[in-house]
A and B are shown apart, each in its own frame.
Chain A
Amino acid sequence: MSGSASSCAIVGAAESRLGVCPAGTTPYDLMAEASARALDDCGLALTDVDGVFAATTQTRFATTGLCEYLGLRPRYQDSTQIGGASSLSHIAHAAAAIRLGLCEVALIAHASTQRSIGRAAASPREPNPYETPYRPFLPVTAYALAAKRHMHQYGTTRAQLAAVAVAARKWAMLNPAAWSRDPLTIEDVLSSRMISDPLTIRDCCLVSDGGGAIVLTSVERARDLHKVPIAVAGVAEMLSHHSISSMLDLTETAAVRTGREALAQAGLALSDIDVVELYDAFTINTVMFLEDLGFCGKGEGGALVEGGAIEPGGELPVNTNGGALSYCHPGMYGLLLVIEAVRQLRGEAGARQVVPCNAALVHANGGVFSTQATAVLARLRG
């Protein structure tokens, strides 16, 4: 677990171009574009940045390459790579670095061009001699095995999983930046091409180009900048396993612990949370994270989502940008979750704005339910 955090705030947040980019675009192009927009968002300049945090699947030298591209020689940097939870891990590490005086203005960036160059090139798999011979489609087969087990233990149905994709689509239809905005029904999801049963192509996230960046600084400095500062009230991360065959219980993730820890740091309860942004790489993820984070009991996630509770107008707004399922998924999607939470907390979310919106819970996942990180973000008062 990383400590937190409430002494720092997110002051700038922006996406790069999303979807599909011109041939030859690199992750550095997109990270730089998002970084410039995020700095513009808060009124800071590249020359103010003295801490850089970045990860991509397309380079092992993310901060090294990004700093070269941006002409930065920061006092502090961190390229922690734990898959889709990396950017939340970077927030935890940046908050600690700011608190310790190791840097004052932290830039966190992520990008991918996986749609343009293909997933095989963007995210080469590391061979595992105890799994690779069986040729699983990773990561989808791992999540399919979890979904199968969840269905077996709790009676969760494919239609309940499909309800997650339908809810995400309804939110995406309210977001002009979303990739998939055509109406989607339960039947559409169920009748789509099966990839690794019980998951069809519509139970799986998009494959997008895109990226994002956020700027963090101390609460004191944050008050002088353009936008309402969004406090990092709590943030926690945990690693539980690497390969799916080493996950102890396929129906429960380390989100049980990171969620509790992040809320405790923030001094908030689930009932204080107005909006939830969680990493829906596959429909089963949303179901399991809602359970593990405590929004319902274990095994009750299917019933929760099929009732429409997480759709626009529902009692628990979840993945208000349309999620990785319908908005955008440039791999390692955690940073785009944070950007949506910041926009909701600032009241900038347009047709999809949740009202009131004072506190948000962001949960990111990496690998095959391997790495979990939760952040609680809140509008800074007075």
Chain B
Amino acid sequence: MNEPASQSPLGEFRRYLRLGQLAFQRNGDGKPVFYPRVLDPADGGPVTWAVSNGTGTVYSTTTLFDPDGSARNVALIDLDEGFRMMSRVEGVASDRVEIGMRVRFFVGSDEQGEPIALFAPVGEDRA
């Protein structure tokens, strides 16, 4: 590439996460775009970065049972800005996570220690 971008969309998303922020993109009409891309999937136009206020609603949720029998959560979260992402709701037993529950973003880490976006029920935020 003759004009390399300074950062891939994923690299930029992770840079925001390391700063404690949940980033997404908006298109020319101000509509949210997620996951981050190099262009607007609606019309190929430019996208600009924005930071979510981190509050949202559980769109769907499931409890997974690992081979050792332990349970954990996977959920789809609709952020208040109008985009959806996969995540995990923590701070409450997975079988108590319900569709429609209000949740707030926090930064956790994956098995490799990389920062990832997680959620907790509003009112039960981590300190």
Interface residues of A (CB under 8 A from B): 129-131, 133-137, 141, 144-146, 148-149, 152, 193-198, 243-246, 250
Q: In the complex, given contacts A136-B64, A152-B100, A245-B84, what are 16 additional A-B residue pairs having Cβ atoms less than 8 angstroms apart?
A: A129-B10, A130-B85, A134-B74, A135-B64, A135-B72, A136-B74, A141-B74, A145-B60, A145-B76, A148-B61, A149-B59, A149-B99, A196-B65, A243-B86, A245-B76, A245-B85
CB pair B85 A195 closer than 8 Å: no
Of A129, A196, A198, most B-chain CB atoms within 10 Å:
A129
Tell me the nearest residue of chain A to B62, going by C-beta: A144
Of A134, A146, A246, A250, most B-chain CB atoms within 10 Å:
A134
Interchain residue pairs with CB less than 8 A apart (6): A136-B74, A141-B64, A145-B61, A152-B100, A197-B63, A246-B84
Given the interface contacts A133-B110, A133-B114, A133-B116, does A245 sit within 8 Å of B86 by beta carbon? yes
CB pair A195 B65 closer than 8 Å: yes
Interface residues of B (CB under 8 A from A): 10, 35, 59-65, 72, 74-76, 84-88, 95, 99-100, 110, 114, 116
**B75, chain A: closest CB distance, angstroms:** 8
**B119, chain A: closest CB distance, angstroms:** 11
Q: Chain B contacts of A193 at CB under 8 A?
A: 65
**A129, chain B: closest CB distance, angstroms:** 5
CB pair B63 A152 closer than 8 Å: no
CB pair B64 A195 closer than 8 Å: yes
Q: Which of B35, B62, B64 contacts A148 (CB 8 A)?
A: B62
- Give the complex CA separation of A137 and B35 in angstroms: 20
Q: Chain A contacts of B85 at CB under 8 A?
A: 130, 245
**B15, chain A: closest CB distance, angstroms:** 13
CB pair B95 A197 closer than 8 Å: yes
CB pair B60 A134 closer than 8 Å: no
Q: Chain B contacts of A250 at CB under 8 A?
A: 59-60, 76
Given the interface contacts A134-B88, A148-B99, A244-B76, does A197 sit within 8 Å of B62 by beta carbon? yes
Tell me the nearest residue of chain A to B116, going by C-beta: A133
**B23, chain A: closest CB distance, angstroms:** 12
CB pair A130 B86 closer than 8 Å: yes
- Give the complex CA separation of A19 and B19 in angstroms: 52
CB pair B35 A130 closer than 8 Å: yes
CB pair A196 B76 closer than 8 Å: no
CB pair A152 B99 closer than 8 Å: yes
- Give the complex CA separation of A129 and B87 in angstroms: 12
Q: Chain A contacts of B60 at CB under 8 A?
A: 145-146, 148-149, 152, 250
Q: Chain B contacts of A146 at CB under 8 A?
A: 60
Q: Chain B contacts of A244 at CB under 8 A?
A: 76, 86
Given the interface contacts A148-B99, A194-B65, A245-B76, does A134 sit within 8 Å of B86 by beta carbon? yes
Q: Chain B contacts of A195 at CB under 8 A?
A: 64-65
CB pair A141 B76 closer than 8 Å: no
CB pair B84 A196 closer than 8 Å: no
Tell me the nearest residue of chain B to A129, going by C-beta: B10
Q: Which of B10, B35, B62, B110 contacts A196 (CB 8 A)?
A: B62
Tell me the nearest residue of chain A to B85, going by C-beta: A245
- Give the complex CA separation of A71 and B65 in angstroms: 47
CB pair B63 A196 closer than 8 Å: yes
**B10, chain A: closest CB distance, angstroms:** 5
**B80, chain A: closest CB distance, angstroms:** 17
Q: Chain A contacts of B76 at CB under 8 A?
A: 145, 244-245, 250
Q: Chain A contacts of B114 at CB under 8 A?
A: 133
- Give the complex CA separation of A129 and B64 in angstroms: 19
- Give the complex CA separation of A136 and B75 in angstroms: 9
Of B74, B99, B110, B114, most A-chain CB atoms within 10 Å:
B74
**B46, chain A: closest CB distance, angstroms:** 20
- Give the complex CA separation of A148 and B59 in angstroms: 10
**B18, chain A: closest CB distance, angstroms:** 14
- Give the complex CA separation of A198 and B61 in angstroms: 10
CB pair B62 A134 closer than 8 Å: no
